[in-house]
Amino acid sequence: MVIGYARVSREEQNLDRQIDELTEAGCEKVLCEKVSGTARDRPVLMTMLDMLAEDDVIVVSELTRISRSTKDLFAIVERVGKSGARIRSLKEPWLDTTTPMGQLMFTLIAGLAQFERDIISLRTREGLKSARARGRQGGRPKVQNDRLKEAIVLYESKEYSLAEIKKKTGVSH
């Protein structure tokens, strides 16, 4: 089955353009969702991923409709692949795991993204090591116990907002 997935971020936004593109692309079923792409809880997307069967194809009008981050995209594509299904974007031809060339392109881009994550991690570790050698420690500054206790008392009194508590005590939520 060819399944279209259309998403917009807000309730007042319109899905018509995406639905038209997906229908024109041959989608037998189009699932629609109105939720931010950065939201972890996307019920329609999760339901679609759960119902995928061997040889199904998910089609999206563009990459940003299914994911807002590279990490999330790779996780979704991996989950789709494990179910035996494939994924295709109408605007980004490199995201088309229905063809050998599309699979190769996705693998190359995934490899580059992993390389970038590894380089960032390496630089972070090197920077922390260098800072420690100079006597600096990372992490959040320690909060004095008396300030923390005061913040808890103010919070439990339910008379102050979090912003007011932060202003009075210097302890953030």
Active site residues: 9
Give the closest residue to 31 by CA, choosing from 7, 65, 12.
7
Q: Which region, left, alpha or beta, applies to residue 139 given φ > 0 means left and ψ of -120 to 50 means alpha?
A: left
Whole-number Å distance between alpha carbons of 77 and 56: 13
Whole-number Å distance between alpha carbons of 110 and 71: 9
Whole-number Å distance between alpha carbons of 151 and 168: 8
* DSSP reduced 3-state for 4: strand
